[in-house]
């Protein structure tokens, strides 16, 4: 069971890597756009994160404060991606502040996953 939990953790981190990697590609190319790959990365990270929040296969208590903070940040990233996609359809690009916020919050959420014990 512990091995399965570690695999789900890997999938969770890969989801953030996909989201952050797609964001970095757009940032390096100075396109300031929301892509479908960013949404897929968010979906992967979110589903795997919810699976990790279930108390299965562990002998210790979960840190529900950490889980709550990560969920709030994940919802904020999702909202920014949705707002950015709507603005992109309307104006052709995402405002730079909104675009940089997506990358910063993604990095913050991955950092919380790795560093908060």
Mean pLDDT by 10 residues, the chain (117 residues): 89 95 96 96 95 81 92 97 96 94 95 89
CB neighbour class for 15 (10 Å; exposed up to 12, middle 13-18, buried from 19): buried
Long-range contacts of 58-66 (CB under 8 A, 24+ apart): 58/2, 58/5, 63/116, 63/117, 66/112, 66/116
Cβ–Cβ under 8 Å, residues 50 and 69: no
pTM for the whole structure: 0.91
Q: Which 3 state secondary structure label does DSSP give 32?
A: coil
pLDDT at residue 55, as a whole number:
80
pLDDT at residue 12, as a whole number:
92
pLDDT at residue 25, as a whole number:
97
């Amino acid at each position: 069971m512990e091995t399965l939990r570690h695999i789900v953790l890997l999938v969770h981190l890969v989801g953030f890597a996909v989201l952050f990697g797609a964001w970095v590609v757009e940032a390096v190319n100075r396109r300031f756009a929301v892509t479908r790959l960013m949404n897929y990365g968010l979906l992967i990270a979110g589903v795997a994160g919810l699976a990790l929040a279930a108390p299965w296969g562990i002998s210790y208590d979960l840190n529900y404060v950490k889980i709550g903070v990560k969920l709030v940040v994940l919802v904020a990233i999702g909202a920014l991606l949705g707002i950015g996609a709507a603005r992109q359809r309307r104006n052709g690009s995402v405002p730079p502040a909104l675009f940089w916020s997506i990358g910063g919050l993604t990095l913050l959420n991955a950092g919380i996953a790795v560093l908060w014990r």
